Amino acid sequence: MLNVPRRNERDTVTVQTSQRTNRVADHPAERIFVDRWSPRGFSQEQITEGELRTLFEAARWAPSAYNSQPWRFLYALRGEADFDTFLAPLIEFNRGWAQRAAALIYLLSRKEFTPLGKTEAQFSRTHSFDAGAA
Ligand SMILES: Cc1cc2nc3c(=O)[nH]c(=O)nc-3n(C[C@H](O)[C@H](O)[C@H](O)COP(=O)(O)O)c2cc1C
């Protein structure tokens, strides 16, 4: 018989207090969830195009309705001419922290998809959810 440890029997898999913040979880959860936060402070380090593409590679395996994969990513690295173009539409508060990010990414989602075996495109009620999952 396989002796596979139950998840909550493994070392420090679940936690109730964050190491990064003053968060206290109501129930044990993996640290990756309890510690996550929305960063707005950036080190000004650069990210390479290759590192960014690894992130997109991970994203594009996300699930989507009818496997329609409605997402498209537009990006600009800080230092590139397009970076300011990407920064401009943001509200002032967001421009304040986003200008120090290594890359700005716009995530687009296609509102219509054509089901397998059909020729007519139809509205996708889940396009933004699917893109958000990516
Ligand atoms: C749909 C959505 C829109 C958000 N918009 C902004 C935003 O415009 N500016 C910002 O600084 N944070 C934004 N946030 C981040 C939230 O403020 C943040 O996730 C929330 O306060 C919880 O904090 P945490 O992510 O650090 O746990 C947004 C989050 C979501 C889910």
Reported pTM: 0.84
27 within a domain of the structure (yes/no):
yes
Is 2 a member of any domain?
Answer: no
Establish if 3 belongs to a structural domain: no
What's the burial of 129, exposed, middle or buried (CB within 10 Å: 0-12/13-18/19+)?
middle
Instruction: Answer yes or no: is the C-beta of 21 below 6 A from any ligand 1 atom.
Output: no
Please work out whether the CB of residue 56 comes within 6 Å of at least one atom of ligand 1: no
Q: Both 123 and 62 in a single domain?
A: yes
- The residue nearest atom 20 of ligand 1, judged by CA position, is 38
Torsion sign across C-alpha atoms 42, 45, 46, 47 = negative
- For residue 22, tell me if it sits in a domain: yes
Q: What is the pLDDT of residues 9-59, one digit of tens each?
A: 544 457 777 777 788 888 888 888 888 999 999 998 999 999 999 999 999
Nearest-CA neighbor of 76 among 84, 65, 88?
Answer: 84
How many domains, the chain? 2
Cα–ligand 1 centroid distance for 38 (angstroms): 6
pLDDT in tens, 70-128: 999 999 999 999 999 999 999 999 999 999 999 999 999 999 999 999 999 999 999 99
Check whether residue 64 and residue 113 sit in a common domain: yes
Distance between CA atoms of 122 and 16, rounded to whole angstroms?
A: 45
